[in-house]
Structure 1
Amino acid sequence: MRALLTGGSGFLGGHLVDECVRRGDRVRVLVRPNSDLGHLRDVPGVEFALGDLGDSAALRAACQGVDVVYHLAARVQDFGTRRQFWTTNVTGTENLLAAAQGRAVPRFVYVSSPSAVMNGEHQFDTDERVGYPETFLNLYSETKAAAEQIVLGANSSQLTTCAIRPRGVWGPRDRTGFLPRLVARLAQGSLPDLSGPEPVYASLCYCRNAALACRLAAESDRVGGRAYFVADATGVDVWALIDRIAELFALAPPSRRVSPVLLAGMVGLAELLWRVPLLAARRPPPISRYGLTLLTRTSTYDTSAASRDFGYRPVVDFESGLAQLVAWVHEIGGVGELVRGVRR
C-alpha cells in the first residue's frame, strides 16, 4: 500500500511508520517545518510532505496517489482553549477528509480514543454499543468524539472510513504520554495515593499492538463506518501497576492520602480557573476530572469486534512490553532523561 500518515513524528505515529515499512508499504509522512523528525530519519524509504492540517493545498498534494490515509495528528495535551482543540482535532480532520475525497483516496483510518465515550463512571468490558456521553470530561474528549463522528459519517462506496480507539498507548519512545507523566509525578513525589478498597482496572495498548490494529483495519473490507476498541490481551490493576513502575525505576510509591471532600474541591477549583483562556492556553491544570477518572474509575474494553472484523490479536504481551520499555529507558539514560521536558 501507499500510505500517508499525519502525526508520524509522534509516539504512536512513529510505531505505525515502522509497522507499515515492516509490511513493505511505501510511506509518506505529513510534517511541519518545525517537526522533530527524530526516529523517522532512520527509517528507510520514508517520504516527507511539508504542510499542516490547516493547509488545504498541502493536504491535497500529500494525498495524491495514496491508497490509505492514517490520521493520527491531534492536540492531545490536557490543556488548551476550545479554539485550539477544535481547530486541530475537528477542523483539521475535516480538511484532511476533504483532501482525501478530492484525491479519490479509497481508505481513511482515524486514530480516535476511548476518551470519546468516557463519562466519568466505571466502564467494565465496554464494547462499541456505548454511546457518546451528554457531558464530556474535557475538550480533548469532546473534540475527539466530534472528529470521530465526522470521519464515520463520511464513509461511502468511494471512501471506506473507520476509527481505531487504542486505550492508554504505552511503550518505548514515548516522551509525552500518560506513562512518562506518571513517572514524572512519582519522581517529583506529587502523585497522591488515590487507591480505594476496590481495585481500579484499565485496558492499555502497547504501541506495536496499536500500530498493528491500524494497519489491519486499513486492509479490511468490513470496517466501513465503524469504530473499534483495541487493547492489550489483558487489563491491569492501575494502582498495582503504579507500585510496580515505582519499583522498576527505583522511585517511591505514592503514600500521601487526600480526603475525598478536599479532592473534589481541588478539582472544582482547578476546572473553574482553567476556563480562563489565558491560563488554559499555557499550562496543564494540577488536577482535573479527566485525570481523576483515569486513576479512580475502571475502564476496560472489549476488543472482540476488532478481532472479528480485521483479525486483531495483540502480538506483544504485557510482560514483554514492560521489559522493552525498561530497556529503552535505560538506553536513553534513565528516568531523568525520560521525564526531562514533561509538562506537569
Structure 2
Amino acid sequence: MKVLVTGATGFLGKYIINELTEYGYNVVAFGRNEEIGKNLEKNKKVIFFKGDFTDNEKLSEAIKNVSGIIHAGGLSTVWGKWQDFYNANVKSTENILKLCREYSIKKLVFISSPSIYAGDKNQLNVKEEDAPNENNLNFYIKSKIEAEKKIREYNDIPSVILRPRGLFGIEDTSVIPRLLHLNKTKGIPIFGKGEQYIDVTCVENVALAVRLALENENAIGQVYNITNDEPMMFKDVLELFFRKTGIKGKYVKRNYFLAKFLVSIIEKIYLIAGIDKEPPFTKYTLYLMRYSQTLCIEKAKKELGYKPKMTVVEGVKKYVEHNRRN
C-alpha cells in the first residue's frame, strides 16, 4: 500500500514515515524542507515531494497512485493571524478532502489536537465526545475545531481523527526545548504545588496509533484520543527530565489570578497592535500549567488495539541519551 504523508519533514511526520515503512508501506512524503526530504529518501520506500499542502496542484501530483493519506501537516503554534491558521489548517484540510474524493482515497487519517478541550478548569479522563463545538481560546484551537468539522462534512470520505496529547521525543522542537529554556532563564512558573495532572505522549506511540487507524476498517468515522496512558503530576514530569539530564529544576511560584489578569491585558495589547510575535505568556499556556487535564484512551485501546510501545520513562531516557551523544 502506498500512503501520502503531509507534514512529512516535521517532527511527527518523520516518525510516522518510519513506522509505516517498517511495516512494509511505501510512502510519498510531502513537505517543505527539501534537505530533510532528501534525507528521508535514503529509505528506499520513500519518495519526497517538496511543496506546500495548501497548493492543490502540487498535492494533486503527489496524491496520484496512493491509497491512503495521513494529514499530519499544519500550523501549530499558540499565536498568529487567523488567516494563516485558516489557510494552513482549515482550507488545506478541505483541499485534501476534495482530492480524496477525486482520487477515491481509501482512508484519510487526520491529526487533530486535544488542545480543543482546553479551558479554565480541571478536566480529568476527558472522552472524545467531550470536545466543545466552539473554543476561541486561540486561533490554533479554533482552526482545529473547524478542520474537524470539515472532516465530518465530507462524510463520504473514509476518515479517522486522532487527537494526540503532549508529544515529545528526539528532535522535538516544542515541548522539551521550551521547558529547558524557561528553566535556564526565568524559571518554570508553578501554580499551587505543581500537582496538576497532565498527559504526555512518546512520539513513537503516536506514530503507532496512526498506523493502527490506517489499518482498522472499523475506525472509519471515529475520533480517538491518544496518550501514553500514564497521567503524571506536572512537577513530576519536569523532575523526571531534570533527573535524567542532571539539571536542577528552577521553579518560580506564581499567583494564578494575578497572572491571568496580566496575561489578559498582554493578549489584548498584542491583538489590538497586530503583533504577530508570540506573547511571553498566553491564556492557553497559563491554563495548561494551572489545571489538570488527562484524556481517556479506552476507545483507542478497545477499537484500534492501541497499546503504547514506549513508556514515558523509556522515552525520556532515549531523548537524553541521544542529546548526550549529539
Structure 1 length-normalised TM: 0.89
Amino acid at match of 1:150: K
1:259 to 255, 259, 278: 255
Q: Please tell me whether residue 228 in structure 1 is matched to residue 224 in structure 2.
A: yes
2:291 corresponds to: 297
> What is the CA distance between 1:172 and its match in structure 2?
1.1
CA 1:24–1:279 in 2, change beyond 3 Å: closer, same or farther?
Answer: same
CA contact (8 A) 1:168 1:204 kept: yes
Matching residue's letter, 1:181:
R
Cα deviation code 1:38-86 (max 9, x no counterpart): 7525433310123212211111111111111000111002221111111
Question: CA-to-partner distance for each residue in 1:172-203, whole Å, 9 max, x for gaps?
Answer: 121x2222111111122342232x14721111
Partner of 2:131: 131
Question: Which runs of structure 2 are paired with 1:92-107 in the superposition (5 Å)?
Answer: 92-107=92-107
Partner in structure 2 of residue 308 of structure 1: 302
Residues 204, 38 of structure 1: alpha-carbon distance in 2 compared, 3 angstrom cutoff: farther
Q: 1:33 to 1:7 in 2, by over 3 A?
A: closer
Q: What whole-Å deviation, never above 9, does each CA across 1:186-221 have from its counterpart, x for those lacking one? A: 122342232x14721111111110000011001111
Q: Identity over aligned residues, as a percent?
A: 25
Q: 1:178 aligns with which of 152, 175, 180?
A: 175
Q: Is 1:163 aligned to residue 166 of structure 2?
A: no
Tell me the amino acid that sits aligned with residue 110 of structure 1. Answer: F
Query: Are 1:118 and 1:136, in contact at CA under 8 Å, matched by a contact in 2?
Result: no
Q: Match for 1:294: what amino acid?
A: L
* Conservation of the 8 A alpha-carbon contact between 2:228 and 2:311: yes
Hey, what does 2:6 align to over in structure 1?
A: 6
Shift of 1:112: 0.6
- Which 5+ residue runs of structure 2 have no aligned equivalent? none
Asked if the contact 1:152/1:226 (under 8 Å) is kept, the reply is no
Aligned to 2:245: 249
Once the two structures are superposed, residues 289-340 of structure 1 have per-residue CA deviations (whole angstroms, 9 ceiling, x without a partner) of: 11011111111111111112211111111221111111111122xxxxxxxx
Counterpart CA distance in 2 for 1:210 and 1:171 is 11
Other structure's SS at 1:192 match: strand
Distance 1:307 1:3, change over 3 A: same
Q: Which residue of 2 aligns with 1:331?
A: 325
CA contact (8 A) 1:152 1:162 kept: no
- In 2: Cα distance, 1:308 partner to 1:5 partner: 26
From 280, 287, 290, the equivalent of 1:286 is: 280
Q: Is the 8 A contact 2:194 2:235 kept in 1?
A: no
User: What SS class does the counterpart of residue 274 from structure 1 fall into?
Assistant: helix
**Match of residue 340 from structure 1:** none
Go from structure 1 to structure 2 and tell me whether the alpha carbon gap of 1:188 and 1:207 turns closer, same or farther (over 3 Å shift).
same
Aligned partners of 1:200 and 1:298 also within 8 Å: yes
Q: Distance in 2 between matches of 1:221 and 1:79?
A: 36
Aligned to 1:114: 114
Give the aligned length: 326
Aligned partner of 2:218: which letter?
A: R
Counterpart code for 1:225: G
Unpaired runs of 5+ residues, structure 1, are: 333-344
Match of 2:211 in 1: 215
Farther off after superposition, 298-307 or 237-246: 237-246
Task: Please give the alpha-carbon distance, in whole angstroms, between the structure 2 residues aligned to 1:250 and 1:306.
Answer: 35
* Separation in structure 1 between the aligned mates of residue 4 and residue 25 of structure 2, nearest angstrom: 10
**TM-score (ref. length: structure 2):** 0.94
User: Which stretch of the first structure deviates more once superposed, 208-217 or 145-154?
Assistant: 145-154
Q: Any conservation in 1 of the 2:194–2:234 contact (CA below 8 Å)?
A: no
1:239-268 CA distances to partner (integer Å, 9 max, x unpaired)? 121133233334332332222343122211
